[in-house]
Amino acid sequence: MRILLLDKNHPLITEQLSAKNFSLEEDFYSSYEEVLKKIEHYDGIIIRSRIPLDQNFLENAKNLKFIARVGAGMENIDIPTAQKLGIQLINSPEGNRDSVAEHVLGMLLLIMNRLIIASNEVKNGIWLREENRGDELLGKTVGLIGYGNMGKATAKRLSGFGCNVIFHDILPDLSDEFAQQVSLEELKEKAEVLSLHIPLTKETQYLINHHFINDMKNDFYFVNTARGKNVETKSLVEALKTGKVKGACLDVLEYEKSSFENLDTSSEKNKENADLQYLLHSEKAIVTPHIAGWTHQSKEKLAQYIVDKICNSFS
């Protein structure tokens, strides 16, 4: 089988698949149009997010048997067209679930205990104790939306901090020793911390909006390590200003490029976007550059899961 690698990943992918007699070609720089001209010659593609695999692309991939995404989300693939054409879709959410869960916990501890603020103050000669009194996770009810690989790993860690973890998911009967499944209405009634672990779909785009936030009974901390467009930024910023959202931990932003490689600063609208500027400068928000799933360990694990799944299906 001929496999085209369109993004840089851990070298074990090339090493192990080559050892299994797959024929691999790396192309990390060609444009969508350039790849389109040659895609009919390949049986498989391994990607991250650089090139969108839309209907036009897939219909030109005459011999394509699988698409493997090194990561969890599949929104850059036209899934209905791939399924119609019989193309197998492979991803590896198991590979970075632990790093995402630790990132969630790390951001919560930072913002609830004002660690970045206090550290910066001390470094600038300011010594404030009462003003930097923290807020404990112990005893808080944490609501997760989505209980797949990321949600379960996050719940496991939060339970170790003495949190009452509840979650909502579209699939039934997922409760386990770490978290209890509830309706969305019950989650809104009880949660003091809200964390997203969902894909980006038509149903989940801008799920967290003005109405959702107002439906939350408690003032709450908010964490998003899922996708930026799961959240309507304008509504989140309004809630931060009023105190309804006590603090926001954002690893993803609505204004990211589709490749996730940077903010879309080419847009004048984003350069002047007051909501984005608020998040970037507010002490009530922690913003990281889409790295929750990016650790040294997850890079290797993501790749290994992809290799194992390809070999199990096509060796």
DSSP E strand boundaries for 27-152: 44-47, 66-69, 88-91, 141-145
Q: Which residues contact 242 (CB under 8 A, 6 or more apart)?
A: none
State the Cα–Cα distance between residues 260 and 225, nearest whole angstrom: 13
Q: What distance lies between CA 185 and its chain's CA centroid?
A: 24
DSSP string, 274-302: HHHHHHHH-TTEEE--S-TT--HHHHHHH
- Give the CA distances from residue 172 to residues 93, 203, 288, in Å, rounded to whole numbers and listed in that order: 20, 17, 32
**Catalytic residue numbers?**
227, 256, 290
State the Cα–Cα distance between residues 260 and 240, nearest whole angstrom: 25
DSSP E strand boundaries for the chain: 2-5, 23-26, 44-47, 66-69, 88-91, 141-145, 164-168, 180-181, 193-196, 220-224, 245-250, 285-287
SS3 (DSSP) at 271:
helix
| Lookup: tokens for 280 | 């970037």
Nearest to 140 by CA among 108, 110, 103: 108
